[in-house]
Amino acid sequence: MVSALHIITAALAAAFLLGLLKEQQRGLAYGITLLTLALMSWISAGWLWTFASTGTAAVEIFTAGTEPPFAINLRIGLAEAALTLLINLVGLLSALALKDTLLALGRRAMAVWLVAVMALSGIVLTRDLFNLFVFFELTVIASAGLVLLSEHAKNDGQALAAGFKYLIVSQFISAFLLIGIIFAYHATGTLNIDDMAAAAPLLGGGAAQAFALAFFLIFIAVVAELKPFPANGWALDIYESAHPAFSALFSAATGAAALFAVDKLLLIGGDAWLPMATGIGIVTFVAANLLALPQTNDRRLLGYSSIAQTGLILAVLGQRDILGEHTLYIAGGLLLSHAIAKAGLYWLSGLIAERGLEAWAALRGQPLLIFAFVSFISMLSGLPPFPGFYAKWELIHLLAGEGRIVLLGLILFGALLEAGYLFRWFGYIMKREAPTEVVDNVAHKFGAVFATLAALAAAWALSLVWGELAGLQFDRFNMLLALPLLFALAFLLLDWLPVWVKNSLAIAGLLAWFYLTYTEYDPLRMIFAVIFLIGGSLTLLASYHEHGRRIGFYPSAMLMFAGLAMLIRATDSFDFFVAWELLTVGSYFLILRGKHSEPHALSYILFSLGGAFLILAGFALATQGAPYFDLAALADLVQPLAPWVFLLLAIGFMTKTAAIGLHIWLPGAHAEAETDVSPMVSGILLKAGLYGLIVLLLTMGRQDFYGVELINAMLWIGALTALIGNLLAIFQEDAKRLLAYSSIGQMGYAMFGLALMNHLGWLMALMFVINHYVYKSMLFLSVGGVAKRTGTRQMYRMGGLITLMPLSFIATLIGIIAVSGVPPLSGFGGRWIFYNAILTAEARLPMILIFLAGPIAFLYLFRLIYTIFLGQLKDEFRRVKEAPFWIVLPQMIYVAILLVVAVVPGLVLRHVDAYLNHFFPNGGLIWEGTTITSQFGYWNPVAIMIIVGVIFMTLFAWLLFVNRRAQKVKQFNIVFSAERPFRPETTHFAWNFFAPYRKALGFLTLPLVTLFWSTMTDLLHTAGDLARRFYTGNGQTYAFHLLAFVVIVYLFGMGVRP
């Protein structure tokens, strides 16, 4: 094994060697630089491999032939090896990305680059306090030197000013550091970190106090290198102005090294200093994310994000007292995620010509780079399967186990803010107008592209490693190896295939997975399995109508389906949460594909992530420190914890079912999605939330929260959701929005049914699950088909399409009859069960809302079918054709299903009914022949169908007989107030269809919830925007911030310490 010391010596030697070269031999110099960096990386990699594979203890490296305290010693262990590898690799890749600049600047710049990387490695390796100072100063000098060297005409001296500000601040920092070091030395008589750590606790009286003060100075100086809020204005300016390849190093490597230095210092200071680290870290994390919200410059935004991530990791280091041996896994996961993602993003930014966030739309058309971007932001947001996800999971669980709820809440809040601006940015990339200048000269910027892709590879490799580690540490499966996820990821590689091949593969995959697993499901899960998998493949039939390759569709869709498939098989909290996140992310990408869905997809992902964080917090509270638990164990929770867990989980699941108050994302997201995506996200995805609620209620049931029966609250929420959803639906002009609001109402019904907590309530909810899938998928498809043909979703612009699109009309007709619950179709079964269910319910008042909501459904349903298919045909649509075959086909299948289910509901329901007896032994149905009997009433679907059919056919025959000469007349042949109408536009009564209703009840539709949430986001934005003005851009102000920061931390921190 090559001594790790050679990481440093190699860099120094090469730097000197470069000095000997001629100025013109730039290619050679560049080659030497790269080789040296590669050599350094190789040494680190070798050590990492040794430690990882054999698990040997850390190795001490002595210099100057003596042992400490008389000479400096270095140490390399697993963490050091990993970090130096990270630093050296980032150095190497950044050097590649910097190729043009380095070649232009010549050997001096290369030497400085080598020294910078070397110094960072030194910070990691050294065990000597003063040596640490030296390496820090070297870093500062090298960094400032690089900024100075890379200054070029384009940015008008901004980088110069930034570099100078950096130097000003670093002067203060180094003064603190030096004074602190000398007094610490004076107190303990050693500069060796380990010796000092051993000596410090033995100090007594005044010496201990003096040492504490000295240590404070050292500590705060090193923490200041982490750019804590608010003493970080200088760093932001560097991030914004420096060459992105340098910023990559500055963010990924410098941050990592400084964090490790803090970690070493905490070894000296001991647990007493942990709260200070936590406090600084978490304040920085939240504040930096808040300030990042109003940023418009990509690099500055990344700077804020870097600062935030570093703050988070600092907070994690501050929690080592409870994280214990997991600290390395958690902090390492977060740190590596941050470093790789941030370096990758900075390298990517080198490819973008302009600095606005919208300018990144230039990436569009480069699927690989977009995939890289997505991977990076997912990594930063802590989404599975990236290491940050495992880290976050463990962290939150351990924090919850120790009752550090405030910190937990702040971390999740900050993470949500961060996800907010990252995903907003991704929305810009996918949806904003691309600048004319596409990614400029990708071939020319080979280095940056290569570096980005290397980071991408590293990201996924690390996910695999962290998954394996999770397996070792916590006995978890490696989620990256879960078959459904692998299947979804495989579509990334197959994206070059034409749509019909991929579609067939996707359908085959869903069906095969169902075939493989169908024996595992109990009847309850079977319902969901059938909807998710069989239903999913049915919906996918509609996707055959697309041509070309449809890049990105299948990975997203299959990611969602993978999540769904894993969700119903999950038996413990971890598996469940992984699946939940996967389906959320997948569906987000799907929704984002819609033409105008950028803002809606954003609000979807934010609500979903917010909900997911609540679920995470709920799970974490429930486990009490254990890494995960069996979902069935939720039932064992007791007061006072249980209602909190229930509340968190319930709200989390309700974000997915779009309960009132959390519903504002749904209409836009479902309406703006593509034709075949709307049924997936409405008919299928919404059921995931219901599934969550079912699991929750099955295990936890009734909970009392400070005197409030939570299930009753849910009853009210369900009823209110049903009412408001339906009410809003009747005022929509956009057909798909109407359906989307209707989904909100329907989910309200289902929630209401579940919250009844009796046998029939559940049966009704499950019937809603099935019915809603069928008719909502069908309606979305037929409306989508119509919108595709007419080019509009505004219903008042359509009309009279019945003869042109008869099949779509039939589907819609059957659909609305089923939704409205009119016998003889299947919707009636749901209503019948509903009435039986509420007769045994305890709370009666919520029924009023539900009773009102029911008939309102007729209003929007009639509007839907009338304004589209009936009324007056418009001139521009006279040549419209029936919807494409592949969109009509699934609709016809759904029609068949609805008819079958209408006649023999027992086909599905009686199994569920029997199964529900396990949980609600009383109040089941009796299935005798074709009659279904409950405690209160009875119905016979077959008889109803026959009776209605016979009467109808008889009367129809009678009418045909007496009216056999009826003559078809033209459109305008109507009795119209003594005139003959001639313009369909003015004759088609469609716009503002329910005007009287608006007059009477319009006040209920005021967008109060939207107002609330937009005010919240505005407040956050405004707060961020005001607070960032604090960074005046003046170097002296920044220095003053630093001093103020030190004083404040001192006053706070010293008060807190014992």
Partner 1 sequence: MSFDWMKIPYALLTVFIVFNYGLLLGAFIQKIGARAGRRYGIPVWQNYVDLIKNYGQRTSITHGVMFYLGPVFRLTGGIGLLLFVPTIYGSYMFSNLSFAGDLILALYFVFFGTLGMALGAGESGHPHAAIGITRGLSQVSVAELPFALAVFAVALQYQTLSVTDIVAAQQGGVLNWTLFTNPLAVAAAMLAFLGSMMRPPFDVVIAPQEIPIGPPTEYHSAYLALMQTNRAIFPVAKMVIYMNLFFGGATSWPEFAVKVFLLYLFSAFVGVCFPRFRVEQSIRWFLIWAVPLGVQAILWV
Partner 2 sequence: MISLAQMAMAAGFVLILIGFYGALTQRNLLRMIVAFSLANTGVHIVLVAVGHMRGRTAPILDAAVPVADALTRVIDPVPQALVLTAIVIGLGVTALMLAYALKLHARKHTLDIAKMTELKW
Task: Out of 183, 460, 705, 997, name the contact with partner 2 by CB under 8 A.
Answer: 183
Task: Tell the smallest beta-carbon distance from residue 78 to partner 2 (Å).
Answer: 30
Q: Which helix (H) or strand (E) holds 858?
A: helix 846-869
Tokens of 720: 């209110």
Stretch that binds partner 2, among 179-187, 260-268, 623-631, 907-915 (CB under 8 A): 179-187
Residues 933-962 that bind partner 2 (CB under 8 A): none
How far is 464 from 157, CA to CA, in rounded Å? 44
Residues 975-994 that bind partner 2 (CB under 8 A): none
Task: Tell the smallest beta-carbon distance from residue 911 to partner 1 (Å).
Answer: 21
* 633 belongs to the binding site for partner 2 (CB under 8 A): no
* 151 belongs to the binding site for partner 2 (CB under 8 A): yes
Going by C-alpha positions, the residue among 663, 471, 646, 473 that lies closest to residue 575 is 471
Identity of the residue, 38 or 134, whose beta carbon is nearer to partner 2 in the bound complex:
134
How far is 774 from 597, CA to CA, in rounded Å? 24
User: Which residues sit opposite 192 in a β-bridge?
Assistant: 128
Tokens of 955: 């009367």
SS (H, E, C) 456-478: HHHHHHHHHHHHHHHHHHHCCCC
Task: Tell the smallest beta-carbon distance from residue 404 to partner 1 (Å).
Answer: 46
Residue 940: contacted member of partner 2, partner 1, none (CB under 5 to 8 Å, by partner type): partner 1
Task: Confirm if 652 and 712 have CB atoms less than 8 A apart.
Answer: no
- Coil/strand/helix, residue 238: helix
Stretch that binds partner 2, among 22-30, 183-191, 322-330, 437-445 (CB under 8 A): 183-191
* 1028 belongs to the binding site for partner 2 (CB under 8 A): yes
Task: Tell the smallest beta-carbon distance from residue 130 to partner 2 (Å).
Answer: 6
How far is 90 from 206, CA to CA, in rounded Å? 45
Residue 858: contacted member of partner 2, partner 1, none (CB under 5 to 8 Å, by partner type): partner 1
Q: What is the DSSP letter of 27?
A: H
Task: Tell the smallest beta-carbon distance from residue 869 to partner 2 (Å).
Answer: 55
How far is 541 from 504, CA to CA, in rounded Å? 9
Task: Tell the smallest beta-carbon distance from residue 193 to partner 2 (Å).
Answer: 15
Burial class of residue 776, CB neighbours in 10 A (0-12, 13-18, 19+): buried
Identity of the residue, 398 or 805, whose beta carbon is nearer to partner 1 in the bound complex:
805
Residues 351-380 that bind partner 2 (CB under 8 A): none
Going by C-alpha positions, the residue among 843, 829, 982, 990 that lies closest to residue 901 is 829
Residues 236-265 that bind partner 2 (CB under 8 A): 236-237, 240-241
Q: Which helix (H) or strand (E) holds 931?
A: strand 931-933
How far is 954 from 952, CA to CA, in rounded Å? 5
Going by C-alpha positions, the residue among 70, 52, 72 that lies closest to residue 62 is 72
Identity of the residue, 871 or 1035, whose beta carbon is nearer to partner 1 in the bound complex:
871
Going by C-alpha positions, the residue among 483, 194, 203, 240 that lies closest to residue 346 is 240
Identity of the residue, 424 or 831, whose beta carbon is nearer to partner 1 in the bound complex:
831
Residue 416: contacted member of partner 1, partner 2, none (CB under 5 to 8 Å, by partner type): none
Going by C-alpha positions, the residue among 104, 102, 140, 115 that lies closest to residue 36 is 115
Tokens 């009997």 found at: 933
How far is 589 from 562, CA to CA, in rounded Å? 14
Identity of the residue, 740 or 841, whose beta carbon is nearer to partner 1 in the bound complex:
841
Identity of the residue, 148 or 511, whose beta carbon is nearer to partner 2 in the bound complex:
148
Binding mask 831-860 for partner 2 (x = CB under 8 A): ------------------------------
Task: Tell the smallest beta-carbon distance from residue 244 to partner 2 (Å).
Answer: 15
* 63 belongs to the binding site for partner 2 (CB under 8 A): no
Stretch that binds partner 2, among 72-80, 181-189, 375-383, 701-709 (CB under 8 A): 181-189
How far is 580 from 689, CA to CA, in rounded Å? 9
Task: Tell the smallest beta-carbon distance from residue 977 to partner 1 (Å).
Answer: 6
Residues 112-131 that bind partner 2 (CB under 8 A): 130
* 1035 belongs to the binding site for partner 2 (CB under 8 A): yes
Identity of the residue, 364 or 998, whose beta carbon is nearer to partner 1 in the bound complex:
998
Burial class of residue 639, CB neighbours in 10 A (0-12, 13-18, 19+): exposed
> Alpha helix locations (H) across 150-271?
158-188, 193-199, 205-224, 233-241, 244-248, 255-269
* 1050 belongs to the binding site for partner 2 (CB under 8 A): no
Residue 154: contacted member of partner 1, partner 2, none (CB under 5 to 8 Å, by partner type): none
How far is 797 from 874, CA to CA, in rounded Å? 8
Identity of the residue, 133 or 1013, whose beta carbon is nearer to partner 2 in the bound complex:
133
How far is 428 from 666, CA to CA, in rounded Å? 20
Task: Confirm if 599 and 372 have CB atoms less than 8 A apart.
Answer: no
Identity of the residue, 68 or 827, whose beta carbon is nearer to partner 1 in the bound complex:
827
How far is 847 from 866, CA to CA, in rounded Å? 29
How many angstroms separate the Cα of 203 from the Cα of each of 186, 200, 247?
12, 6, 42
* 768 belongs to the binding site for partner 2 (CB under 8 A): no
Residue 936: contacted member of partner 1, partner 2, none (CB under 5 to 8 Å, by partner type): partner 1
| Residues in binding contact with partner 2, number by CB under 8 A | 49
Residue 832: contacted member of partner 2, partner 1, none (CB under 5 to 8 Å, by partner type): partner 1
How far is 469 from 461, CA to CA, in rounded Å? 12
Assess whether the previous peptide bond of 244 is cis (omega < 30° from 0): no
Task: Give the relative orientation of helices 255-269 and 298-318 as an angle to the nearest 10 degrees.
Answer: 20
Residue 233: contacted member of partner 1, partner 2, none (CB under 5 to 8 Å, by partner type): partner 2
How many angstroms separate the Cα of 988 from the Cα of each of 169, 731, 813, 982, 997?
72, 17, 20, 11, 19
Task: Tell the smallest beta-carbon distance from residue 974 to partner 1 (Å).
Answer: 5
* 287 belongs to the binding site for partner 2 (CB under 8 A): no
* 186 belongs to the binding site for partner 2 (CB under 8 A): yes
Task: Out of 1039, 1041, 1049, 1053, name the contact with partner 2 by CB under 8 A.
Answer: 1039
Identity of the residue, 465 or 904, whose beta carbon is nearer to partner 1 in the bound complex:
904
Identity of the residue, 737 or 1041, whose beta carbon is nearer to partner 2 in the bound complex:
1041
Residue 866: contacted member of partner 1, partner 2, none (CB under 5 to 8 Å, by partner type): partner 1
Binding site for partner 2 (CB under 8 A): 130, 134, 137, 140-141, 144-145, 148, 151, 156-158, 160-165, 167-168, 170-172, 174-175, 178-179, 181-183, 185-186, 191, 233, 236-237, 240-241, 1028-1029, 1031-1036, 1039-1040, 1043
